[in-house]
Homo-oligomer: A and B are copies of this chain.
Amino acid sequence: MPNLRVALAQTNPRLGDFEANSAQIVADTVTAFAQGADLVVFGEMALSGYPIEDLAVRPEFLSRALTCMTELAVTLAQAGCGDIPVIVGFPSVSMREHGSSLSENPSAIAHNSAAVLYGGAVVGVYNKHHLPNYGVFDEYRNFLPGVGHLLVRIREVDVAILICEDIWRDGGACDELERIQPGLVVVLNGSPFEQDKDDVRLPLVARRAHAVGAPFAYLNLVGGQDDLVFDGDSFIVDEHGVVLARAASFEPDIVVCDLLLATHENRTNLTRDCVAVTCGDGNSQHPPLTVSVDQTPSDERARVWSALVVGLRDYVEKNGFPSVILGLSGGIDSAVCAALAVDALGPSRVVGVSMPSKWSSDHSQSDAHDAAQRLGIVLLHEPIAHVVEPVEQQLDLTGIAAENLQARMRGVILMGLSNMHGHLVLTTGNKTEIAVGYSTIYGDSVGGFAPIRDVPKTMVWDLARWRNDEARRRGETPPIPDNSISKPPSAELRPDQKDQDSLPEYGELDALLDAYITRRMGRDEVVALGFKPDIVDRMIALVDRAEWKRRQGAIGPKISGMAFGRDRRLPVTFYRS
Chain A residues within CB distance 8 Å of chain B: 14-20, 51-55, 57-61, 63, 99-101, 103-108, 130-134, 138-141, 169-172, 225-226, 314-315, 318-319, 382, 386-387, 390-391, 394-401, 404-405, 408-409, 411-413, 415-417, 419-420, 441-442, 446, 448, 520-525, 548, 551-555, 566, 568-577
Contact = CB atoms under 8 A, between A and B. Distances in A.
Contacts of A554: 552
A394 B382 contact: yes
Contacts of A553: 552
14 contacts: A14-B575, A52-B571, A54-B569, A55-B571, A55-B574, A60-B523, A100-B169, A138-B569, A141-B569, A386-B390, A386-B394, A391-B412, A408-B416, A412-B442
B413 A398 contact: no
Contacts of A171: 99-101
B104 A139 contact: yes
Given A104-B140, A571-B55, A16 B577 contact: yes
A144 to B, nearest CB: 12
A183 B553 CA distance: 52
Contact of A226 (B54, B315, B405, B572): B572
A106 B226 CA distance: 25
Residue of A391, A409, A411 most packed against chain B (CB within 10 A) = A391
A402 to B, nearest CB: 8
Contacts of A18: 577
B575 A16 contact: yes
Contacts of A521: 60
B401 A420 contact: yes
Contact of A415 (B59, B408, B548): B408
A577 B408 contact: no
Given A394-B382, A395-B382, A442-B442, A520 B571 contact: no
Contacts of A417: 395
A405 B409 CA distance: 11
Given A132-B104, A169-B100, A54 B387 contact: no
A571 B107 contact: no
Contacts of A572: 226, 319, 555
Contacts of A394: 382, 386-387, 413
Nearest to A448: B548
A400 B104 CA distance: 45
Contacts of A409: 391, 412
Given A226-B571, A394-B387, A573-B315, A412 B405 contact: yes
A169 to B, nearest CB: 5
Contact of A100 (B172, B382, B401, B548): B172
Contact of A17 (B60, B314, B575): B575
A391 to B, nearest CB: 5
A16 B170 contact: no
A190 B82 CA distance: 55
A173 to B, nearest CB: 11
Nearest to A521: B60
A16 B570 CA distance: 12
Contacts of A101: 171
A316 to B, nearest CB: 10
Contacts of A60: 521-525
B415 A569 contact: no
Which 7 A/B pairs are nearest by Cβ-Cβ distance?
A60-B522, A401-B419, A104-B133, A105-B134, A17-B575, A16-B575, A104-B140
A398 B140 CA distance: 48
Contact of A571 (B53, B141, B524): B53
Nearest to A100: B169
A404 B416 contact: yes
Nearest to A99: B171
Given A104-B140, A412-B408, A524-B60, A226 B401 contact: no
Contact of A53 (B386, B548, B570): B570
Given A14-B575, A54-B568, 9 more contacts: A18-B577, A20-B575, A55-B571, A104-B132, A133-B140, A134-B141, A226-B572, A404-B416, A566-B569
Contact of A391 (B54, B55, B387, B448): B387
A39 to B, nearest CB: 29
A577 B17 contact: yes
A546 to B, nearest CB: 12
A73 B395 CA distance: 54
Contacts of A15: 571, 573-575
Given A387-B394, A416-B397, A419-B400, A104 B569 contact: no
Contacts of A132: 104-105
Contacts of A61: 522
Nearest to A171: B100
A71 to B, nearest CB: 13
Contacts of A522: 58-61, 63
A57 to B, nearest CB: 7
A476 to B, nearest CB: 31
A487 B382 CA distance: 40
B54 A570 contact: yes
B55 A570 contact: yes
Residue of A55, A140, A566 most packed against chain B (CB within 10 A) = A140
B575 A318 contact: yes
